[in-house]
Chain A
Amino acid sequence: MANAQEMLVTQDKFTHRKNLKKDIKHSLGEYIIEKIIFCLGITSVIIFSLIFLFLLRTGLTLFRDVSLKEFLFSKNWFPISVNPQYGILPLVAGSLLITAGAILISVPIGVGCAIYISEVAPPKTKMVLKVIIEFLSAIPSVVLGFLGIVVLANWVRISFSLSSGFTALTGSILVSLMALPTIITISDDAINALPKEYREASLALGATKWETIINVLVPAASSGIIAAIMLGIGRAIGETMTVMMVTGNAAKIPDTFLTSARTMTATIAAEMGDTVRNGTHYHALFAVGIVLLMMTTCINLIADFVLNRARKEGR
């Protein structure tokens, strides 16, 4: 017994001494792993900066040939005419109009759907709806565009008695379909994350379910819902394929939803193949890319900011 105890003590002393000494092998391994993980971690940062630098370098070359003022404020985008003009305004207007339309359509539907899913729907319906919404986000944009050409454009043409159904409205409707899953999922998460005490407190005060939703739950989840909308906008403004297929792509400032419009994304996608490498047109498309990237980055930053605030409030 005494022997065993003694052994234990010496062993203790031994491990003690060993731990105090710096183990080179151990700490070297730790050092290497830390560095590897660090490199992996900053890869995305590096990739983003490289993309941005490349865009910037190529895009800014445009301003040797075209003034910044003309690029930003001229109303004409005629890159391949004899007298080429590179005014980005119609493209920005097209993108903004289609995005605004999409948001007008998808926000009421999306937020309403999120409220229904998180507060009203019975568990089974809730599950089915969630699966369907995931499906919606999995539809490839080309397929949606195809449906847009065949079904939606026709419907728009007939309903509004137009000569062509390829309008900003058609694009807005399709893009709203693509922004919906984002808006629904994130709003639903925001409402679900609210403590159940809010619900109980409101109901115990004699409020109805509807009053509880409108007066307590939606205001309490408002930051999350706003972030959802911002991310939906980001999704809509960056969308390329569907809008290119259904909006008619006329590069003029659209005055109503029922005329043809052209977005920045569609312009880049459609024209990049026909440009001369390192020509003015080529550079102009990159400059359009810079503007687009700046817009989406801003939107994402705002969404991030609002989401962070929502998390802090949510406690």
Chain B
Amino acid sequence: MSKISVKDLNLFYGDFQALKNITLNIEEKKVTALIGPSGCGKSTFLRSLNRMNDLIDGVKIKGDLKLEEQDIYQKDVDVVALRRRVGMVFQKPNPFPKSIYENVAYGPRRYGIKTRKQLDEIVEKSLKKAALWEEVKDRLSKSALGLSGGQQQRLCIARALAMEPEVLLMDEPTSALDPIATAKIEELIVELKKEYTIVIVTHSMQQAARISDETAFFLMGEVVEVDTTQKIFTKPRDKRTEDYVTGRFG
């Protein structure tokens, strides 16, 4: 079943068209990887899934983008509610300059959870899901900025999970991390797809091959090909996809 269905999505930055007629379905509880060379629109597409592009001046969007049955670009859609259902992890780990605990509790506090007990539970559960609990349980009140890059990124994942989202968007979540931290995050993603629908933008073809079920190849603002990851990497239908995944360009 598709969790998100996109039909004929066009996105403009002023006069520049960044996305052209994107049609794509994102399957529930699977990992969908978006690959393609820099500037091909994959991050822009990812950010249109939780309307983070709204923050940029002069963005125009046309087309259908449905989360389950609801068009998320309709006028009466509450962006705040949408972002609670569609969480996001960014390229650079970006914890708030607060304690580890407060970072994770930030989202739940926003939607009104106030009691210490409930918050404690959510924080512990989220950190466990993000495979960070064992490393930080004794220093929850310490600043999140004291963690290593990989730990910070897992904290950001925990922070997003604390909102109990349905979809988790990840924008090159390992590009700022070393190989060991990357491996941990990848393991985590495979674990998380049991519960969440995950969309990940990645520059690393190996990463896409290792962790994703579906892969969409973006080029110059268009989706060239979308299929199961296995097919994309073994028997791509399009010549351009083949050139890209075999490393002939990009």
Chain A nearest CB from B53 CB (Å) reads: 11
Does residue A255 face the partner (Cβ distance < 8 Å to B)? no
Which residues of chain A from 208 to 254 have any CB-CB distance to chain B below 8 Å in the complex?
208, 211, 215-216, 219-220
Does residue B80 face the partner (Cβ distance < 8 Å to A)? yes
With A197-B90, A200-B90 known as contacts, the answer to whether A205 contacts B160 (CB < 8 A) is yes
Q: For the complex, what is the distance from the CA of A174 to the CA of B90, rounded to whole Å? A: 47
Asked whether, in the complex, the Cβ of B163 is within 8 Å of the Cβ of A206, the reply is yes
Q: For the complex, what is the distance from the CA of A307 to the CA of B163, rounded to whole Å? A: 35
Asked whether, in the complex, the Cβ of A200 is within 8 Å of the Cβ of B80, the reply is no
- Choose from B83, B96, B97, B156 the contact partner of A206 (Cβ within 8 Å): B83
Residues of chain A within 8 A of B160, CB atoms compared: 204-205
Asked whether, in the complex, the Cβ of B80 is within 8 Å of the Cβ of A204, the reply is no
Chain B residue nearest to A207 in the complex (CB): B110
Chain B nearest CB from A131 CB (Å) reads: 21
Asked whether, in the complex, the Cβ of B52 is within 8 Å of the Cβ of A201, the reply is no
Asked whether, in the complex, the Cβ of B81 is within 8 Å of the Cβ of A204, the reply is no
Q: For the complex, what is the distance from the CA of A197 to the CA of B96, rounded to whole Å? A: 9
Asked whether, in the complex, the Cβ of A202 is within 8 Å of the Cβ of B106, the reply is yes
Does residue A108 face the partner (Cβ distance < 8 Å to B)? no
Asked whether, in the complex, the Cβ of A205 is within 8 Å of the Cβ of B107, the reply is yes
Most buried by B among A201, A203, A215, A216: A201
Q: For the complex, what is the distance from the CA of A219 to the CA of B103, rounded to whole Å? A: 13
Asked whether, in the complex, the Cβ of B159 is within 8 Å of the Cβ of A205, the reply is yes
- Choose from A204, A211, A216 the contact partner of B52 (Cβ within 8 Å): A204
Asked whether, in the complex, the Cβ of B55 is within 8 Å of the Cβ of A206, the reply is no
> What is the total number of residues of chain B having a CB less than 8 Å from a CB of chain A?
26
Interface 0/1 of B37-76, CB less than 8 Å to A: 0000000000000101001000000000000000000000
Asked whether, in the complex, the Cβ of A313 is within 8 Å of the Cβ of B97, the reply is yes
Residues of chain B within 8 A of A204, CB atoms compared: 50, 52, 83, 87-88, 90, 160
- Choose from B88, B94, B98, B163 the contact partner of A195 (Cβ within 8 Å): B94
Does residue A198 face the partner (Cβ distance < 8 Å to B)? yes
Which residues of chain B from 112 to 170 have any CB-CB distance to chain A below 8 Å in the complex?
156, 159-160, 163
Asked whether, in the complex, the Cβ of B90 is within 8 Å of the Cβ of A205, the reply is no
Interface size grouping (class) on chain A: 10 to 19
Does residue B13 face the partner (Cβ distance < 8 Å to A)? no
Asked whether, in the complex, the Cβ of A206 is within 8 Å of the Cβ of B107, the reply is yes
Chain B residue nearest to A208 in the complex (CB): B80
Interface 0/1 of A182-205, CB less than 8 Å to B: 000000000000010111111111
Interface 0/1 of B77-112, CB less than 8 Å to A: 000111110011010101111100000001101110
Residues of chain B within 8 A of A202, CB atoms compared: 96, 106
Asked whether, in the complex, the Cβ of B94 is within 8 Å of the Cβ of A206, the reply is no
Chain A nearest CB from B231 CB (Å) reads: 32
Q: For the complex, what is the distance from the CA of A120 to the CA of B55, rounded to whole Å? A: 12
Chain B residue nearest to A201 in the complex (CB): B94
Chain A residue nearest to B103 in the complex (CB): A201
Asked whether, in the complex, the Cβ of A201 is within 8 Å of the Cβ of B97, the reply is no
Q: For the complex, what is the distance from the CA of A207 to the CA of B109, rounded to whole Å? A: 10
- Choose from A197, A211, A215, A219 the contact partner of B94 (Cβ within 8 Å): A197
Q: For the complex, what is the distance from the CA of A313 to the CA of B144, rounded to whole Å? A: 12
Chain B nearest CB from A222 CB (Å) reads: 10
Asked whether, in the complex, the Cβ of B110 is within 8 Å of the Cβ of A205, the reply is yes
Chain A nearest CB from B87 CB (Å) reads: 7
Residues of chain A within 8 A of B163, CB atoms compared: 205-206
Q: For the complex, what is the distance from the CA of A195 to the CA of B90, rounded to whole Å? A: 13
Residues of chain B within 8 A of A216, CB atoms compared: 96, 106
Asked whether, in the complex, the Cβ of B98 is within 8 Å of the Cβ of A219, the reply is yes
With A195-B94, A203-B83 known as contacts, the answer to whether A215 contacts B106 (CB < 8 A) is yes
Chain A nearest CB from B91 CB (Å) reads: 9
The list of the 6 closest CB pairs from A to B, nearest first, reads A197-B94, A206-B84, A204-B88, A206-B83, A205-B107, A201-B94
21 contacts between A and B (CB under 8 A): A195-B94, A197-B90, A197-B94, A198-B96, A200-B55, A201-B90, A201-B95, A201-B96, A204-B87, A204-B88, A205-B84, A205-B110, A206-B80, A206-B81, A206-B82, A206-B84, A206-B111, A207-B106, A207-B107, A208-B80, A211-B110
Interface residues of B (CB under 8 A from A): 50, 52, 55, 80-84, 87-88, 90, 92, 94-98, 106-107, 109-111, 156, 159-160, 163
* New A-B pairs, 10, CB < 8 Å, besides A197-B92, A211-B110, A220-B97: A197-B90, A204-B87, A205-B87, A205-B106, A205-B160, A206-B82, A206-B111, A208-B80, A216-B96, A219-B97
